[in-house]
Structure 1
């Protein structure tokens, strides 16, 4: 069985031609499917990353709001305590000023010409009034 060389080579080419076209189509289809899968994976990763980012931002905002509320309530409580303490101090100083005024009036009435202690009481009264004015300014600043 001897075949001419040309006829054998033509038969091989004609057999391989449809198979190579089929392979090319398969490769193109596989490459297209691979590109689609990679594209869908990248798109999914992008959307999932944005979803996680939004969730993280919401969680942080919630935590910050909770901490801010706690700090604000603590600050308000400290401010109220300070106001109460300043008011108590002012009331105490006002009582002392009244007592000094009474003592000063009594001393002034009973002062002899030899010894004048009223100057000391006026000095103490002036110091107490200065402290009272300073506390009043502090209270006004707190309001």
Structure 2
């Protein structure tokens, strides 16, 4: 009987060892599977955020390009309008200067030495020339 008891004890000890090994293996397998799931989740989240970031960057680039094009068109239109206005103003001033020159020569021919009309016309002519020069300078600055 003692042999039978010893055999039972030895068998129960080997069963415990195999159970522990199986328990350790299943626990290790469980942790490995969870580690794989967590790593794949992290990789998927990174891939998704990169994709979203790329999509947003492309969208912003398109919006910015559109806004820049619109601003450039409005800028060019304003510059063209200002240029035409300045050329019109310069033409008007030139016409006024020519008219004043004609008036000045007419009055100079008809006036005697005692009249002061020619001095007044010269001062007006100088003022108009100053304005013409200022407009030309501002036109050059705009170009």
Q: Compute the displacement of 1:36 (Å).
A: 1.0
Q: Deviations over 1:76-117 (max 9, x none)?
A: 111111001101100100110011001000110111232221
Q: Compute the displacement of 1:6 (Å).
A: 5.7
Q: Deviations over 1:10-45 (max 9, x none)?
A: 443232222221121111111111111111111111
Deviates more, 1:12-21 or 1:74-83: 12-21
Q: How does 1:11-90 map to 2 (within 5 A)?
A: 11-90=11-90
**Alignment RMSD:** 2.1
Deviates more, 1:15-24 or 1:92-101: 15-24
TM-score by length of 2: 0.89
Aligned equivalents of 1:11, 1:92: Cα separation in 2: 120
Query: Counterpart in 2 of 1:112?
Result: 112
Runs of at least 5 residues in structure 1 that lack an aligned partner in the other structure: none
Query: Counterpart in 2 of 1:97?
Result: 97
How many positions carry a matched residue from both structures?
143
